[in-house]
């Protein structure tokens, strides 16, 4: 059978890894796919560099549209990144009847609904396993492996840069700014790390997992996003003393308790923020630049997916897996292919993404308070007035000076809006001497 002809748009870190993995494992891949898969054309602005990375049988061009318009190309692999030209090229490739594989989570999180609809209209496949958690096959697990389950929640460490920073802060007791510089020196963080440290990259990925888990459109604009830039080493230390570790988690959860006659589907939480996790949980012990995703299904229970979330060949592994899938189904009836977002297009639900004020979670609070009688009673009184139950209290001498105390409180689950109201009341007290630190807490069981 004639080999599948692949055109590669961009041959940077992931593109070169994809080329090498296909070349090195071509016999195994052909045995699995039932036919050969060959990168026969590469487009890159740096033509000379691209030529140095590929063999003589691969055509290299500087214009991506030459790849898209080549009638011999069956699959276009988009590895350019970003929202702009990548969106245009992907839509043009689909319009030309090409299958598409992409590692571009930002593109799909923002424009996924448009892209998947265009692909459906042209009866082509968009593969995006590499867009979430690098080499971890979490998309396939959610879309196919767990298809018998009603997914209840998904929580993941899905950004290696922030996990490396938090691991270093915990193990070495260093502040965020110090560890960030070290992460940049070692190549774990970009020169401009904003998307990573502010949680945007993780939110892109969480948005895609949410859509697949619950059969809803991709809705990145409704995600609640917080990064790790305000985390302090002291809170990581206190969390450790209480039996917790702090991780940046992407969380999406089905909220059936919100179902009504007028709203039969309830609501969905979609959020990214620093989170306290019990140190006994496997995901709490994921260190360095590794990724991990926990999925709770009604039939299977809890499953954990762990591995490298970035890098040349780990991400290439996911790209090539998509190429093999497309090679297997390219001639199949489009109505019998696995849907892009797991659920049949006509069965998607318009379930509401909850605003953060309606999210239910527990909290870690740290207050710097005057060392006076009655302060703790007033704080706990405010929490009680807002129907917030306390799980644990810890008092420590403050590092900020004499006659003041660090008061650490863990709460039980409560509605975020209530906590905001309580925080405003507590912050207004004259005995509260600094901005209150608030970090959400999840048991993940």
Which tens digits make up the pLDDT trace of 142-167? 999 999 999 999 999 999 999 999 99
Higher pLDDT, 252 or 55: 252
Burial of residue 430 (CB within 10 Å: 0-12, 13-18, 19+) is exposed
User: Do residues 219 and 301 share a domain?
Assistant: yes
pLDDT of residue 341: 64
Same domain, 131 and 175: no
For residue range 215-263, what is the model confidence (pLDDT) as tens digits? 999 999 999 999 999 999 999 999 999 999 999 999 999 998 888 877 7
Residue 61 in domain: yes
What pLDDT is attached to residue 330? 73
**Model confidence band, residue 413 (pLDDT cutoffs 50, 70, 90):** very high
CATH of the domain at 339: 3.40.50.720
Pairing of strands 59-61, 37-43: parallel
Considering the domain architecture, whether residues 254 and 159 belong to the same structural domain is answered as yes
Confidence bin at 342 (pLDDT 50/70/90): low
Instruction: Give domain status of residue 395, yes or no.
Output: yes
* pLDDT at residue 170 tops 70: yes
Does a structural domain hold residue 65? yes
Q: Are residues 303 and 165 in the same domain?
A: yes
Residues 150 and 283 in one domain: yes
User: Residue 370: what are its φ and ψ, rounded to 5°?
Assistant: -65, 140
Residues 17 and 120 in one domain: yes
pLDDT of residue 106: 96
Q: Domain for residue 325, yes or no?
A: yes
CA 248, 223, 100, 195 dihedral sign is negative
Residues 280 and 395 in one domain: no
Q: Identify the domain containing residue 232 by its residue range.
A: 139-308
112 and 152 belong to one structural domain: no
Contact yes or no for 23/323 (Cβ under 8 A):
no
At residue 418, does pLDDT exceed 90?
Answer: yes
Domain assignment present for residue 157? The answer is yes
* Predicted TM-score of the model (pTM): 0.93
Contacts of 252 (CB under 8 A, 6+ apart): 153, 154, 155, 206, 209, 210, 213, 214, 268, 269, 270, 271
pLDDT average, residue stretch 376-381:
96
Q: Does residue 159 sit in the same domain as residue 297? A: yes
Structural domain contains residue 339: yes
Domain at 172, CATH number:
3.30.360.10
Bin 97: left if φ > 0, else alpha if -120 < ψ < 50, else beta.
left
In a domain, 352, yes or no: no
The average confidence (pLDDT) of the chain is 93
Q: Please report, for the domain that includes residue 418, its CATH number.
A: 3.30.70.260
Active-site residue among 98, 105, 140, 205?
A: 205
Q: Could you tell me how far CA 241 lies from the centroid of its own chain? A: 28
Q: How confident is residue 368, by pLDDT bands cut at 50, 70 and 90?
A: very high
Number of domains in the chain: 3
How do residues 297-341 score in pLDDT, each as one tens digit? 999 999 999 999 888 999 999 999 999 999 888 766 666 677 766
Q: Are the beta carbons of 259 and 266 closer than 8 angstroms?
A: yes
Question: Within this chain, do residues 296 and 171 fall inside the same structural domain, yes or no?
Answer: yes
Query: Is 205 marked active-site?
Result: yes
Sign, CA dihedral 53-57-61-67, equals negative
What sign does the dihedral 411-415-418-419 (CA atoms) show? positive
Q: Which residues contact 115 (CB under 8 A, 6 or more apart)?
A: 87, 90, 91, 94, 107, 108, 126
Q: What's residue 335's pLDDT?
A: 63
- Judge if 128 and 146 occupy the same domain: no
**pLDDT tens digits for range 107-150:** 999 999 999 999 999 999 999 999 999 899 999 999 999 999 99
Which is nearest to 45 in space by CA: 66, 68, 61? 61
| Residues 395 and 330 placed together within one structural domain of the fold | no
Is position 353 within any domain? no
**pLDDT bucket at 398, cuts 50 / 70 / 90:** confident
| C-alpha dist (Å) from residue 5 to 26, 27, 36, 71 | 13, 16, 9, 10
pLDDT of 82 > 80? The answer is yes
């Amino acid at each position: 059978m004639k080999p599948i002809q692949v055109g590669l748009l961009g041959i940077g870190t992931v593109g070169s890894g994809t080329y090498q993995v296909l070349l090195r494992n071509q016999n195994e891949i052909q045995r699995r796919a039932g036919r050969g898969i060959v990168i026969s054309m590469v487009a890159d602005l740096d033509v000379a560099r691209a030529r140095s990375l590929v063999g003589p049988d691969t055509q290299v061009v500087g214009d991506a549209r030459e790849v898209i318009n080549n009638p011999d190309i069956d699959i276009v692999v988009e590895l350019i990144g970003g929202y702009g030209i990548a969106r245009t090229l992907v839509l043009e490739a689909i319009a030309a009847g090409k299958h598409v594989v992409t590692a571009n989570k930002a593109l799909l999180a923002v424009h996924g609904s448009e892209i998947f609809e265009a692909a459906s209209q042209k009866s082509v496949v968009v593969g995006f396993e590499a867009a979430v958690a690098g080499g971890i096959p979490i998309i396939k697990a959610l879309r196919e492996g767990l298809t018998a389950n009603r997914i209840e929640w998904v929580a993941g460490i899905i950004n290696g840069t922030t996990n490396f920073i938090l691991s270093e802060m915990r193990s070495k007791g260093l502040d965020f700014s110090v560890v960030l510089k070290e992460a940049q020196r070692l190549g774990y963080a970009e020169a401009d790390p904003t998307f990573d440290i502010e949680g945007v990259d993780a939110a892109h990925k969480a948005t895609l997992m949410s859509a697949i888990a619950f059969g809803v459109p991709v809705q990145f604009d409704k995600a609640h996003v917080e990064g790790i830039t305000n985390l302090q080493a002291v809170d990581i230390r206190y969390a450790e003393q209480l039996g917790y570790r702090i991780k940046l988690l992407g969380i999406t959860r089905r909220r059936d308790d919100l179902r009504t006659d007028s709203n039969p589907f309830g609501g969905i939480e979609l959020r990214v923020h620093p989170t306290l996790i019990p140190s006994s949980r496997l995901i709490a012990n994921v260190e360095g630049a590794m990724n991990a995703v926990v999925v709770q299904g009604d039939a299977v229970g809890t499953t954990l997916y762990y591995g490298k979330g970035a890098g040349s060949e780990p991400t290439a592994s996911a790209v090539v897996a998509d190429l093999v899938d497309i090679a297997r189904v390219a001639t199949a009836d489009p109505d019998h292919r696995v849907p892009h977002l797991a659920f049949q297009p006509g069965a998607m639900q318009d379930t509401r993404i909850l605003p953060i004020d309606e999210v239910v979670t527990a909290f870690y609070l740290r207050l710097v308070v005057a060392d006076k009688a009655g302060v703790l009673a007033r704080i706990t009184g405010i929490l009680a007035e807002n129907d917030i139950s306390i799980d644990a209290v810890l008092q420590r001498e403050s590092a900020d000076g004499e006659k003041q105390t660090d008061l650490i409180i863990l709460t039980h689950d409560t509605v975020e809006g209530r906590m905001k109201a309580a925080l405003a009341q507590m912050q207004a007290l004259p005995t509260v001497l600094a901005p209150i630190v608030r970090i959400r807490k999840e048991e993940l069981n």
